[in-house]
A and B are shown apart, each in its own frame.
Chain A
């Protein structure tokens, strides 16, 4: 019995390493609730910039990709638990996350911003934000930023950005702080969105928001890491990236080279 278990273990390990070198199949974790980067259509299909980027990169790497949907606050734990091999979900490359996962080079860089009812003022000081109700998505870099900088604010954490927009509309919170492109698409350009606007400056302090959004992978998977970096370079060079960007945005979302 014991020998059988050992044999099985070796077999598993062998299969595991073989796959690690070949990477014919890559499972990619996505969120599916963060327009315009990823959203779920009524028929269950997932669409968005992240999804298109994932497919373009897989095509470039000549691997077969499977997309796996996962809620945001469990997206890193599920990667570590090998439910998938990479996360393409507009995840900011931050030092905090680097402790757990490895990141590819950035594939986009969009600043975070506050939004509120039209005419709301904002000052990014501890005193002004004291007692203000701020909605963020749990476990995002904006969550960390608000928690660190405004300890006296009332931070409300939501599972998805959409829930935060609902409570902003209802007046349960004074501000939301989310990716600026996500706010445009999910709140401002939606029906009823004209009552709201961006307030305050664009925020991209590397201390909280890192150097942009990258693809997260487990630390050991160095071949996959190299493959993704090459593929990002390739789609930047061959125009595929610009084509996808222009499909969703009317401005440059990559930032400085």
Chain B
């Protein structure tokens, strides 16, 4: 055992045969994973920004709904949320003549919609917390200065607070993007053939779990690498003013 075994294992022709036969399945799985994650992250931002701002409000009636939403989605596992939406819809919306059910069921019938919804709400909640924290740590001097210039509350928010908050949220948000990518592996449990789903199909065809999952693992790693690279670029661009000066 040990090193020799690993080299022998890679030398086995079977693994490359497996790759040669199944790469279209892996690629389509990767594509499903990518659009599912990209869309849920994009839609999640539209929840996160208002929820993050609301959660910072002094007004209890504004703060409470955002707080409850964030609390629920951060307080329960993503898998449970997916099950609640997927099987909950199956139980309450299917075979139901209520006009609302008739309207919603065509959407909830599709596994991809349930997964997209669960992922969007989940990432929305986590990102809202990032936005909230980022707004909270805004230097008060900048806001006072904005007030002194006579900017309206809306202008202060849109021109001063949010741009700065987004910039400072970038490193934390890159984490959330990576978590979401890996969390999306759960899509497979509701019949979606994402990257993990593809690996499970390959495993079931060849009874070779290590080979099937290491391939998926490497593709996830590659994707993560690209994400990290992109965020590094963005940080270099938008954090230029924070870069240590060269002497």
Contact = CB atoms under 8 A, between A and B. Distances in A.
B209 A74 contact: yes
A80 B207 contact: yes
Contacts of A138: 200-201, 204
Interface residues of B, number: 20
A77 B209 contact: yes
A208 to B, nearest CB: 13
Interface in B179-203: 189, 191, 193, 197, 200-201, 203
Interface string B193-224: 10001001101110111000000000000000
B199 to A, nearest CB: 11
Identify which of A73, A138, A167, A170 gathers the most chain B CB atoms within 10 Å of its CB. A170
A172 B109 contact: yes
B207 A77 contact: yes
Interface in B90-116: 90-91, 94-95, 109, 111
B87 interface: yes
A166 interface: yes
A157 B191 CA distance: 6
A158 B90 contact: no
Contact of A170 (B94, B197, B208): B94
Contacts, number: 52
A163 to B, nearest CB: 8
A65 to B, nearest CB: 23
A77 B212 CA distance: 12
Contacts of A80: 207
B90 A73 contact: no
Nearest to A167: B90
Interface in B130-178: none
Nearest to A154: B191
A255 interface: no
Interface string B68-106: 000000000000000000010111001100000000000
Identify which of B89, B94, B193 gathers the most chain A CB atoms within 10 Å of its CB. B94
A166 B90 contact: yes
B67 to A, nearest CB: 33
A92 to B, nearest CB: 14
A139 B90 contact: no
B203 A158 contact: no
Nearest to B89: A170
Interface in A67-93: 73-74, 76-77, 80
Interface residues of A, number: 22
Contact of A172 (B90, B200, B201, B208): B90
Contacts of A172: 90, 94, 109, 111
A64 interface: no
A152 interface: no
Interface in A90-131: 96-97, 100
B94 A77 contact: no
A158 B191 contact: yes
Contact of B109 (A74, A143, A169, A171): A171
Contacts of B111: 156, 172
Contacts of B203: 73-74, 77, 139
A48 to B, nearest CB: 23
A50 to B, nearest CB: 20
Contacts of B209: 74, 77
A170 B95 contact: yes
A77 B200 CA distance: 12
Interface of B: 87, 89-91, 94-95, 109, 111, 189, 191, 193, 197, 200-201, 203-205, 207-209
Interface of A: 73-74, 76-77, 80, 96-97, 100, 138-139, 143-144, 156-159, 166-167, 169-172
Q: Kindly list the 7 A-B residue pairs having the minimum CB-CB distance in the complex, ordered from nearest.
A: A139-B204, A170-B90, A170-B94, A156-B191, A76-B207, A77-B209, A100-B207
25 contacts: A73-B200, A73-B203, A76-B207, A77-B203, A77-B208, A77-B209, A80-B207, A96-B205, A138-B201, A156-B191, A157-B191, A157-B193, A157-B201, A157-B204, A159-B189, A167-B90, A169-B94, A170-B89, A170-B91, A171-B94, A171-B95, A172-B90, A172-B94, A172-B109, A172-B111
Given A138-B201, A156-B111, A170-B94, 8 more contacts: A73-B200, A100-B207, A156-B191, A157-B193, A166-B90, A167-B90, A171-B95, A172-B94
